[in-house]
Structure 1
């Protein structure tokens, strides 16, 4: 029996496979697990439940048979060049992304992009329907695949289906602009449990459902009418749970890396290479217009101009990893950021001393932890962000109990990390004051705040996030008479009953 012919009790469906292609020393092509909290959280469940992960390999016109990697079955879904352009770069990232991020950039609405989105979602749904065992569990992830739950429900009503939205869900006044707003909601309501990063996002979704469909909502529950009320399905409705499950990180692994002598030495070397400035400010983001990079650069430049910060004593490191480089809005953003950095360094720099060190590439995790340890102040100025895990990575890495986190109130992480200095990134004067508060903060106050932040991040890690979601999915499955959910509370009860 081939891998594709097997069935699986637990299937994850995401836009991307959790592996990257690598060239082995002998020249052959191999795979390595991608770094990321989602992979870390689901690995144990996938292995124990004999799970499969469905996703795109990341390159157009790449046709690969299912394969096993590190105990997990990988099931690639191919996209051709046109689908990458229309489904991924187009509808996902030039329609949904800006719309769901409060229209910071103007969304584009094209019918051919929507048609491609439907086609690709159908392909993912068909693959999941073919792979999932009877009564199995399918967990679908993120905005690229919002139609998959509904499509799966039509083909496989025996399945327990979860969906998690990793980005914000917009208020109805914005969401209502979407020409295909009803179709997206119908797709999501095919799930038994729909997870969001923030309570406000879940509330926005429920309001959209009430406005467009008139369905009854109570607490986190939505009553969805059933079209089939025959003898086989005599009930008139099913319950969908829509609530917040704030995602987190593998905090223990960051704390462990921060204790590595090589990483500690690298942090010391970074400060030395920068001339041992009094204060290092640090920002790390994908190069995206939602991250507020322009706002923090403006605030920093004004502090230098006002003389409140000294360019000889203060350095800003800005890491901006490449993102969606074929999308026009991102190309324009890169040009603007690089021009701004050049202007600041030209106005306030000196020989051997640049106020801003701008780095347009990604870094491995150990280098990132070294940068977190080297930074006195972490700047997270997102204009809109589902969660922002960088804020949590910084906190988890600060095993010395030092450092100050400046955090946008428009990032989901602000719900958890209340001991950060919370800012409105649109208020440049407020950002400036927060930076000065962080720079001048007494060591005792820094440590008090960081201690509280670390307690929160270490207690609520990514394993707890996945467990909480699977427990909710397990309750939904149990209520509908379904099988125990792998990794959920009912699975442990079922195991004990068998024993």
Structure 2
């Protein structure tokens, strides 16, 4: 059994299975962010291995102790596909799709959260720091505190936290708030998310909140202070810059443009196939621009990458059908013998291919209806080593708080979105350069390593203040 000084608790382990049965590091941004600190501290990572029914003993991988949590098929269906992704996800994303409240899902969510908390308690050293990640594990902080009051506990919420009027619909709202308040530091993407959480705590639990501090009562009659603050997540910007400068990736970008018929402008959307991403709004706006004659298929192509997501959840199956019908209709109306209006790609690509796509594209469209951050916007900016390209960014994505030089849009305003797309297409090179340099300055100065360091430093400060009190 590991006695780790730092334990990360996340729904998934930071590794995937190789075809030959071995393990390889997962590509996610969280894994990249935490890899250096995990290796430095010889930390442990508690998470699910990604397939139901797997019994895997704890093992070490590249300096990190991995502690797998088993999930059976019915738990994946109820805890993950059900409560996490058919209750919490739509509710926390402004009910863009209607959330469903099922008691059997909640029971599975509680049981799985208890299992994750028990695993973390087993591997954490005396006085260790435990960092819990995201909405699948909102009960873990308090469950863990009950088991191990010696621990310093952080929690980071990667998705939005809803306004109180929406959150109050959740039948288990008190249990979720109490679960999160088990943490010493509760981190959010945006200031407004932290504010929404504090308001929910005041309304539901009647606790005192001041600035970012929340006074939490203890069972012995005492109290402690929990911090709820914004810590906007970022990317490993240097790795995108390095790839964008490689001659073979720049050559691949030119190849992509040629394969699309060398249009004057390429628009790009890159999303998980999710109803929160505003893909339908984007397609509608582009289709109308073609109908209106404001853009021509010979001149402008939209490339839409929509990577598969939650394919067993009904709302996602329906969304895929709708989008494919829209793409087919627009292409049927506007394609020519040599040019396609929309190149639709329902698949995932390696990072090198994505960087080539970013370099090949003149305009990046981020039209999220609600998004915790949207790291694709930052990836595009980091990749534009030529200081060209235009970012069209939804004001409802967390990235809009930081990337002020983007063209901001309300994706529900289709006419405004159309005008923004035309403005981006027609933007002179000098203005592109001014805007992109400002965007790149922000992304390069605040990368993912800064994010993890800032959160863990804040957690350490809270721990020191508690022990010295």
Q: TM-score range by the shorter chain?
A: over 0.9
Give deviations 1:302-328, integer Å, cap 9, x for gaps: 000000001111100000000000000
What is residue 260 of structure 1 aligned with on the other side? 246
Matching residue within 342, 355, 362 for 2:341: 355
1:49 paired to 2:45: no
1:12 paired to 2:8: yes
Give deviations 1:164-218, integer Å, cap 9, x for gaps: 0000000000000000000000000000000000000000000000001111111
Give deviations 1:138-186, integer Å, cap 9, x for gaps: 0000000000000001010000000000000000000000000000000
SS at match of 2:18: strand
Matching residue within 367, 371, 374 for 1:385: 371
What is residue 470 of structure 1 aligned with on the other side? 456
Distance between the aligned counterparts of 2:183 and 2:2, measured in 1?
A: 24
1:213 paired to 2:202: no
What is residue 236 of structure 2 aligned with on the other side? 250
Give deviations 1:400-427, integer Å, cap 9, x for gaps: 0000000000000000000000000000
Q: How many residues align?
A: 468
What is residue 479 of structure 1 aligned with on the other side? 465
Gaps of 5+ in 2: none
What is residue 176 of structure 1 aligned with on the other side? 168
What is residue 340 of structure 1 aligned with on the other side? 326
Distance between the aligned counterparts of 1:134 and 1:46, measured in 2?
A: 17
Alignment of 1:61-210 (within 5 A): 61-210=53-202
- How much has 1:332 moved relative to structure 2? 0.3
Distance between the aligned counterparts of 1:421 and 1:22, measured in 2?
A: 41
Give the stretch that moved more between structures: 62-71 or 76-85: 62-71
Give deviations 1:81-130, integer Å, cap 9, x for gaps: 10000000000000000000000000000000000000000000000011
What is residue 291 of structure 1 aligned with on the other side? 277
- How much has 1:259 moved relative to structure 2? 0.2
Distance between the aligned counterparts of 1:43 and 1:220, measured in 2?
A: 28
Matching residue within 427, 430, 438 for 1:441: 427
- How much has 1:352 moved relative to structure 2? 2.8
Distance between the aligned counterparts of 1:238 and 1:408, measured in 2?
A: 38
Distance between the aligned counterparts of 1:265 and 1:144, measured in 2?
A: 41
What is residue 309 of structure 2 aligned with on the other side? 323
Give deviations 1:439-458, integer Å, cap 9, x for gaps: 11111000000000000000
Q: Provide the TM-score with structure 2 as the length reference.
A: 0.99
Matching residue within 302, 314, 322 for 2:288: 302
What is residue 491 of structure 1 aligned with on the other side? none
Distance between the aligned counterparts of 2:324 and 2:19, measured in 1?
A: 32
Give deviations 1:384-413, integer Å, cap 9, x for gaps: 000000000000000000000000000000
Distance between the aligned counterparts of 1:11 and 1:211, measured in 2?
A: 32
Find runs of 4+ consecutive structure 1 residues off by over 6 angstroms: none
| Residues 180, 186 of structure 2: 8 Å contact kept | yes
